[in-house]
Amino acid sequence: MPAPRLLLALAAVASLPVSTLSQEQDMGRRSTVYAPRAAAATSQPLATAAALEIMQQGGNAIDGAVAAAAVLNVVEPHMTGMGGDAFSIVWWAETGDLFGIDASGRSGSGMTVEALRARGHERMPGSGPEAVTVPGAVSGWSALVERFGKLTLAEVLAPAIRIARDGFPVTPVIARQWGGAAERLAGDEGARATYLVDGERAPRAGEWMVNPDLARTFQRIADEGPDVLYGGSLGRELVDGLAALGGFLTLEDLAAHRIRWVEPLSTDFRGYTVWELPPAGQGIAALEMLEILEPFDLAGMGHNSADYLHHLIEAKKLAFADLNRYVSDPETMEIDPNALLSPGYVDARRALIDPDVAADRVGPGRAVTDSETIYLSVADADGNMVSFINSVYSSFGSGVVIPGLGFALQNRGAGFTLEDGHPNQVAPRKRPFHTIIPGFVTQDGEPVMAFGVMGGSMQPQGHTQLLLNMLIFGMDPQEAVDAARFRHLSGLRVAIERVSDEVAADLEARGHEIADWRRTDFGGAQVILRLAKGWAAASEPRKDGHAAGN
């Protein structure tokens, strides 16, 4: 099979002699990881090690991805876990097909507009028990392993059970972020007991942490299967504890939960096909951004030049205006998602970009900007590839931990609106608008790359920038992940990493308001690229990311 054009471009980059970089320039720089058989890229070293461990024990990439996700519940609990939702795109080498899974949960049967307004809410609660929706992650983990895995769910959960029971040293970035949530955790009995040292403070970098409650919960799932949560004794403990706090979930809501196997959406861009999952996620915004940008001479503008950044920022505004207006639970969407990618529609949107003036407000709606999420990629010796994302939404989700269970419940209910007539208005047993999106790239029907960028509204922006770094500017995976990013915040406000005074002044002359990038989260990326033989993997330096292979 001929190497994809992207791989040929990267081969040229990779073949540059080491002497082109001075020792000083190379110090502290991560290199792309090259592996002959299997690779994993996650946001935490223990999760990457767990994925490789499981594959060495006879599992495949799907088993490894689920093992890594479970370990991240232990070591990066503010970002992810079984109290959240999961989404994945799987390249199944045996048949040469892409499969999508949406393991997101619905609202509780008591979550109504009337109930929330009766409690004095004028907008959706952002945290607490009222924001909790059905946690779908475990159902997704189980479905993936059952359909594609080589091992049992119990075998795949073993590393997470061991680490939760025996403990681990907290890594630096996670310790800092954990500390930022300490006051919030102190307000909930279960969260305080589970996540604060002596019930008083967050762990420090290098400090040993254990979570015996989570180890026991995982063991119950390993022994009894996911039904113990979705209608069984574990589910009963969860809903009883939540009801005492004012939540809306019932045991019947958990029992009625089902995952969705979905067909990914795609768009062609510069000889590649980019894949995202369909709504209720925001992946369609990344595809629309690429469609809008397709005709522009992006390479001629220059990477992260003022022209380049201006066009990307304006494309983001247009795509997000559509996202906020139209995307909701697919059962309540008013349009076919593909309508947002139709040539005539995209042409009309592109025509709204003024190359010299930044648009202040574009269309209706309000972008969701905060999210705590993990993204990981895993590939195996058989050629299977997994693009996987799991989230509890905000830091530690709702901030609610049912005592004795050991995990935080997500606050995905915050993704609804109380606005009358909006397709994303809250209603019983409805999926909220979702931010988390895995990505995938193929070329001529062959797999090229599993990729993702975590971080709320940063995700479509990050997907687009990462892809352009590689597809337009020929960066290798780690260079593409390391490159400075922008994040459009709202209105005219945008944050740009390491932006020069000259570029900032040019953008300000066009009307952009440059925010302090040091106070902005630019997300976390992981990438696995298929080589003619073997894999190339990259991890996020803005997190405690780690890519490795064997």
Which residue matches tokens 């997994």?
386
Could you give the 3-state DSSP secondary structure of residue 373?
A: strand
Could you give the 3-state DSSP secondary structure of residue 385?
A: strand
Q: How many CB atoms lie within 10 A of CB 260?
A: 17
The torsion angles phi and psi of 443, rounded to 5 degrees, stand at -145, 125
Helix axes 283-293, 306-326, angle to 10 degrees: 140
Q: How many CB atoms lie within 10 A of CB 243?
A: 16
Residue 186 near residue 96 (C-beta atoms within 8 A): no
Pairing label, strands 535-538, 524-530? antiparallel
**15 class by beta-carbon count within 10 Å (0-12 exposed, 13-18 middle, 19+ buried):** exposed
Q: Give CA 504 to chain center in angstroms.
A: 29
Q: How many CB atoms lie within 10 A of CB 158?
A: 21
Q: One-letter amino acid identity for 216?
A: R
Q: Active-site residue numbers?
A: 373
Residue 171 near residue 75 (C-beta atoms within 8 A): yes
Closest by Cα among 439, 440, 399 to 523: 439
Residue 513 near residue 61 (C-beta atoms within 8 A): no
Instruction: Report residue 70 as tokens.
Output: 């479970």
